[in-house]
Amino acid sequence: MPDLAAAKTILRLAVLRRYSAFVGVYVDRRPPVLVYQMGKVGSSSVRNSLLLHGVTPVLHFHSFFPVRDWDAETAPVDEAHRDDLRKEIAQAARADRDASWRTRLNVRYREWAYNRRVFDRYVRGGRRADVVTLVRDPVAANISMYFQLFHEYTGRRYVPGEFSTAELVEDFRARYPHSRPLTWLDAELKAHLGIDVFETPFPREKGWVAIERGNVRLLVLKCEVPDATKKAALEEFLGLEGLEMVRSNVAGKKAYADQYREFRERMVFPGEFLDAMYGSKFAAHFYDEAELERFRARWAEEEAAGTNEGAAGA
The predicted-structure confidence for 180-237, as pLDDT tens digits, reads as follows 999 999 999 999 999 999 999 999 999 999 999 999 999 999 999 999 999 999 999 9
What letter represents residue 257's amino acid? A
Cβ–Cβ < 8 Å for 240, 55: yes
Tell me if 83 is assigned to some domain.
yes
Residue 309 covered by a domain: no
What's the one-letter identity of residue 247?
A: R
Coil, strand or helix at 132: strand
142 pLDDT more than 70: yes
- C-alpha distances in angstroms, 130 versus 193, 197, 214, 224? 11, 15, 11, 22
CA torsion angle for 165, 295, 219, 250 (degrees, to 10)?
30
Confirm whether 191 is domain-assigned. Answer: yes
Residue 310 pLDDT level (bands cut at 50, 70, 90): very low
- The number of folded domains in the chain is 1
- State pTM to two decimals: 0.88
Q: What pLDDT score was predicted for residue 298?
A: 94
Given a cut of 60, whether residue 133 has pLDDT beyond it is: yes
CB under 8 Å, gap of 24 or more: what pairs does 97-100 form?
A: 98/155
Q: By percentage, how much of the chain surpasses pLDDT 90? A: 56
Rounded to an integer, what distance in angstroms lies between the CA atom of residue 227 and that of residue 68?
34
Report how far residue 214's alpha carbon sits from residue 231's, in angstroms, rounded to the nearest whole number. 25
The verdict on residue 312 lying in a domain is: no
278 backbone dihedrals φ, ψ, rounded to 5°: -90, -5
By residue range, what is the domain housing residue 211? 4-303
With respect to residue 74, please indicate whether it lies within any of the assigned structural domains: yes
